[in-house]
Amino acid sequence: MEEMSSISSFILELPLRITPHDAHILDLRLDAGRQLYNACLGEALRRLDLMRESKVWKEARTCRGKDERRKLFYSIQEKYGFSDYDIQAFAIETKNACWIGDHLDTHVCQKIGTRAFRAVEQYAYGKRGRPRFKSKGHFRSLEGKNNAAGIRFRDGCTPTTNTLVWGCIEWRGLELKVLFDRKDKWGVEAHGLSCETKYVRLVRKLIHGKVRWYAQLVQKGRPKQKSKNRIGQDTVGLDIGPSTIAAVGGDDAFLVPFCAELEPIERKVRLLQRALDRSRRSTNPENYNSDGTVKKGPKKWNLSKRYIRLKARLAEDERRLAPRRKCLHGELANRVLAMGNQINTEQLSYKGFQREWGKSVGFRAPGMFVEKLRRKAESAGGAVYEFPASDTRLSQLCHGCDKIEKKPLSQRWHKCECGIGPVQRDLYSAYLAKYVKENSLDTRQAKEAWPGAEPLLRRAVSRLNQTASGKLRFASFGLSRRQSGSHVKDEAVYVKAADVVGEGNALSESRKGAYT
């Protein structure tokens, strides 16, 4: 029998119609889940700390044999009960020993235990920081293990037309009505409801200051591919930066910034954050030093009514930011897949991006885009192939003469004595990535395809020059203020102030510019 986790699945989110009585009960159960999660998290962290203090752990870390080290780690995990099953058992014991058992069923408690264990497991493997306990209002979802018990989705169809006429979520005496989209322009909802439900997740959201509840149905199968989103069969090369992306396919190429449409929201968020800081400083002057820094030690903060209103507005703007960014990532991924479903790109360290350009990366989320692109490509029968940048050095290589020349980040155009160029640097790297196979560049294919690809790259730059006045233009594009189609010299880069190309003096110079 195939494991449940190995079956491909997708999420169908549906709004719920909630009465005040239902909302009260759901809030109680959500808070019970939060307290159970904190208990499981504390227990898992305690067991991890005990493991790390033991002699066997230290012996396993210094052991060189892989098999022997694996056996030592497994034995110590078994000794201290550091596993998903053990934390689930702890969750059930805790539930049965207190009031939480009156509100949550066994399946939900087991999933809460798994959720806490996964967070601690990632921390133990160094994939994330030490997980924090959830404060009141910061635990927003509960889910079951299957659709047979606990949280269940039930629907009803007319016997003649087999049309879905009603649906509800059943959970321990509650019947929450599901609201369907009767128009369903692309048939996405109808396709999702026709698939079998694996389990159900209830999610609480705060939208425009009001609480909304949604049911996320985790369905078996693959999501519906809209007819407007065609899938190409070619190989596409990508060059991804902290704030821009270049893509080159067989008959199209483009260079665009990540999530440029989010700029107005980002500016509004920044202004609200500054207003919050001013309000907090004016009402709590005793908590700040003479140089403006926050005093150390315990403090009491007085929050004005204006501060609370501004904080609610900021939370709403940040909530709007996430789904809009997700939508823009999906549109960009569909644009790439329309060129081809075999994607070649360099293997990048997005954590390194965060350390170097944290604000821009946190706003545009290039790593999140790559994960979405990988899922969509696999769903379309393709794949995303990541190759190490240190082996190929595409930004330093010229395929015409195989010459490798290290370029500063401020040099945005490639031009070689062999006749290749001038060509925009990011587009050229994306073109070369298209012909990378088994961690090496196939220069023969790159040379053969270059006469047909060069006009594509020029048209991509031409489309950037045709951008309307006031739109986002980065220094990494390497374009002049005149929009003449000619590239600028390295020392004459005009740029939005928060651009993220260049380092040292080049980065300082780039920040002196403005919109082009």
For position 466, what pLDDT does the model report?
Answer: 60
- The pLDDT tens digits of the residues spanning 344-394 come to 999 888 878 888 887 788 888 888 999 999 989 988 889 999 998 888 888
- The pLDDT tens digits of the residues spanning 82-137 come to 999 999 999 999 999 999 999 999 999 999 999 999 999 999 998 889 999 999 98
| Contact predicate 214/14, CB 8 Å | yes
* Domain coordinates in residue numbering, the chain: 4-19+145-220, 21-64+73-142, 232-287+311-516
How many angstroms separate the CA atoms of 233 and 254, rounded?
Answer: 18
Mean pLDDT of 12-21: 94
- Quick one: tokens of 31? 């808070």
**Whole-Å CA distances, 77 to 49, 55, 82, 112, 192:** 11, 13, 5, 20, 40
The pTM for the full model equals 0.78
- The pLDDT tens digits of the residues spanning 182-241 come to 888 888 898 998 899 999 999 999 988 899 999 999 999 888 888 888 888 899 999 998
Mean pLDDT of 36-40: 97
Burial of 309 (0-12, 13-18, 19+ CB in 10 A): exposed
* Cα torsion 218, 224, 226, 231: sign: positive
How many angstroms separate the CA atoms of 48 and 42, rounded?
Answer: 10
Using alpha carbons, select from 481, 479, 476 the residue that is nearest to residue 498: 476
How many angstroms separate the CA atoms of 325 and 457, rounded?
Answer: 27
